[in-house]
Amino acid sequence: MTHGQSMVVMTMPSGKAGGAVEKRRTVLLGATGYTGQRVLRELLARGEKPTLAGRSRTRMLALTDTFEAELPVFEVDATSASDFARLLEPTDVVLSTVGPFTHVGMVPVTAAARAGAHYFDSAGEGPFARRVRDELDSVAAARGATLVPSFGYDYVPGNLAGALALDTAGERARHVEIGYFITRSGHGDELLYRTTLRDSYTLTTAGTRQTLVAAVAEDGFAYRPARRGQPPRLIDERAAKRVRTFRYAGVKRSAMTVPGTEHLGLPAVFTQLESVEVGLGWLGRWTRPIQIAATL
């Protein structure tokens, strides 16, 4: 899969009495960042007029000038619950690209759940997605809200690829392994390209690299039998505990295990699953040395 900081963009109608449908307000958090600007560009291309929310009113206004668009702008602190309580309405759709999400992401998503607003983000941190599920699922359900963390490159492709593979394999499938790799154009067949450590630096943003380091350093989770004879379940497990090898067209690639939303979603749909593995293969031949370093 080709890496790119991106987020799937969608707009949602709002039902009203008498069958009338009114378009919901879209609130974009983090529009001045790399991913936020990509999302904003896509929204504008679709004729949307999102409301921008962030720390710097000056930077957001400069961004509207750059895109030659007149958009509502609200100055909010990502760590201020009161700011978001004043901003969000039940009919809103919130798109969050702020990060690292483990540090500044919980306030916006909590506010969305409490307001009854639908919420999507581009988080790459599996533990953050797990926390959203564990702490806010009942809150969002009571308010009629939908919360979808990691609705971007992390981890939509893996969930879709895993689901397609399991559909094809049928009910006898008990295990699924999913790997994320970087490809590059101009090097022949992109799917045969071997990632280098340099690629993981030059083809990613500073924010993505910060998230990667945090993901390797922090505690994670896995879906597997906790002990011999016990049924499979979500268990605590540090990131980079194992290295998996993926083979395609005679090319071998290594990936270290990381927590992803595939662990949370696939077993809920494919109840026969006994294990789910998600591997990060951005580091090429440095995967094993970095896995050892993370262990130490």
What is the residue-averaged pLDDT of the chain?
Answer: 88
The string of DSSP codes covering 248-274 is ETTEEEEEEE---THHHHHHHHSTT--
The pLDDT assigned to 13 comes to 59
- Residue ranges of alpha helices (H) inside the chain are 34-45, 57-66, 81-87, 101-104, 106-115, 126-143, 156-169, 197-202, 206-217, 262-269, 287-295
pLDDT digits (tens, 9 = 90+) for 127-151: 999 999 999 999 999 999 999 999 9
List of residues 6+ apart from 191 with CB closer than 8 A: 183, 248, 249
> Which range has the top average pLDDT, 75-84, 214-223, 230-239, 276-285?
75-84
H or E segment to which residue 221 belongs: strand 219-225
- Structure tokens that stand for 9 in this block: 């963009």
How many whole angstroms separate alpha carbon 54 and alpha carbon 16? 30
Percent of the chain with pLDDT over 70: 90
- Structure tokens that stand for 35 in this block: 């991913």
Burial of 34 (0-12, 13-18, 19+ CB in 10 A): middle
Read off the pTM: 0.86
Residue 205 neighbours by CB distance under 10 Å: 12
Lowest-confidence segment of 15-19, 172-176, 215-219, 237-241 by average pLDDT:
15-19
Q: How confident is the model at residue 1 (pLDDT cuts 50, 70, 90)?
A: very low
pLDDT digits (tens, 9 = 90+) for 103-117: 999 999 999 999 999
Three-class secondary structure of residue 63 per DSSP:
helix
Longest dimension (CA), the chain: 63
Place of tokens 């006898």: 172
The pLDDT assigned to 101 comes to 93
The pLDDT assigned to 136 comes to 98
Place of tokens 């990131």: 239
Burial of 171 (0-12, 13-18, 19+ CB in 10 A): exposed
pLDDT digits (tens, 9 = 90+) for 231-243: 899 999 999 999 9
Residue ranges of domains in the chain, CATH in brackets? 13-148 (3.40.50.720), 156-295 (3.30.360)
Section 192-209 average pLDDT:
79
